[in-house]
Amino acid sequence: MAKRIFNINLDEASLEAARRRAESEGKTLGQVLAGMVESYAKGYSSIRLTTYTVQRGDSLSRIARKFYGDPHKYPLIQGANNLSDPGRIWVGQVLIIPLPPEAGAPPAPPEPPRPEPAPEPQPEPAPSPPPSPSPSPEVDPCAPIPGERYGSLPIVGPPTDRPAAEHGDLNLALRGYTPTRGQAGLIDMSGPTDPRAPQLTGLFADRRIPTFTGLYRVHEWDWATNSRGQPITAYEVTLAGLRVTPGEPIHVPNAGYDIGRGYQVLVLYADPERLTLKYTGEDSVVSGYTLHLENVCPAPDLLALYERLNAAGRRELPA
C-alpha cells in the first residue's frame, strides 16, 4: 500500500481550536487532523489551518468570502468545525479555517496512469440531485427597528459619581464573568415574592421560556482599588446565556411599575454590545431591579440618544 506524507501548518491558536474540537467529539487530536487532511488536502502535500474569531454581524458566508473570495464556500468552514447548523455561530466563537496551500506550492504528483479496461455498456445516469440551497440571507442585528421611538426622563437624585463607562455597577464589561455549573433553567426560591417584578419571558415577542446556553458568575467589584474581584459566590448563578435567533428584537421585560410618563425603565448604560436597564428613576443600582443585557446590539437611535444625554451630564437618561 502506498503512503503519502502530508505537512499540516498551523499556529498555536489553530492547534488549540483543534484540541477543543477533538475533546468535544470524543476523538484524538490525530483523528481530527486526519479528517481535515482527507477533506481538504486532496491533490496537495500540505494544508494550512488558521483561526478566526467571530465578530458582530458575521455569518459563515461572510467569513468564507473573507478567506476564499467566495461566500458559497462556507461548507468548508462548517465541516472543519463540525457545525450542524451553519446559521448558528456567536460573537467570540473561535473557528478553524482550512486554507489552500501556499501560493506556488505545487500539488502532489499524480499517480502513474493505469491501463484503462475496455468500456462496458453503462445504464442511463440517474438524474442529478438538486443544487444545495444557498445560505440564508445575512441578517444585520444592528439595523434600526422600524417604528421604534425612544424618550427620556429626568433622573431622581444626583447623577452617578464617576463616568458610567468606568462604573463597576453600570458597565458589566468591567466586572466580567466566568462560566459556572448549575441548573440550566428556571428554579424556585423560597421567601416573599413581588407580583410586579419583571419576567425574563418578556425579553421575547413570543414570551417563550428561554433555552439556556450558558451559566456564569459575575465578578465582585473592589471599590477601594476600582478593580475586578473574585466571582460572586452568594448565588450559584448571576448571569445566564439565552438562545436567540440572529437579528431577533429583544424587548424590555414588562413590570408593574411606572417611573413616570408611562415608562418603566431608565437606560443607565449603553454601548455597541450591552445595555443596563433600571426599573427605578435613580442613576444607580442600589435599590430596585437592574437588568444587564450582554452581547446585544442596541438600536442605533437608542444608542445615539444615550450618548447625547450621557455627554450632557446625565440629568436625563433614555426611558
Domains of the chain with bracketed CATH: 7-99 (3.10.350.10), 152-185+197-318 (no CATH)
Specify the pTM: 0.59
Strand partners, 228: 221
- Res 60: pLDDT: 82
- Res 115: pLDDT: 59
Contact 249, 148 (CB under 8 A): no
**Residue 98 dihedral angles phi and psi, to the nearest 5°:** -75, 130
- Low-confidence residues in the chain, pLDDT < 50: 1-2, 43, 103-109
- Res 107: pLDDT: 47
- Res 125: pLDDT: 60
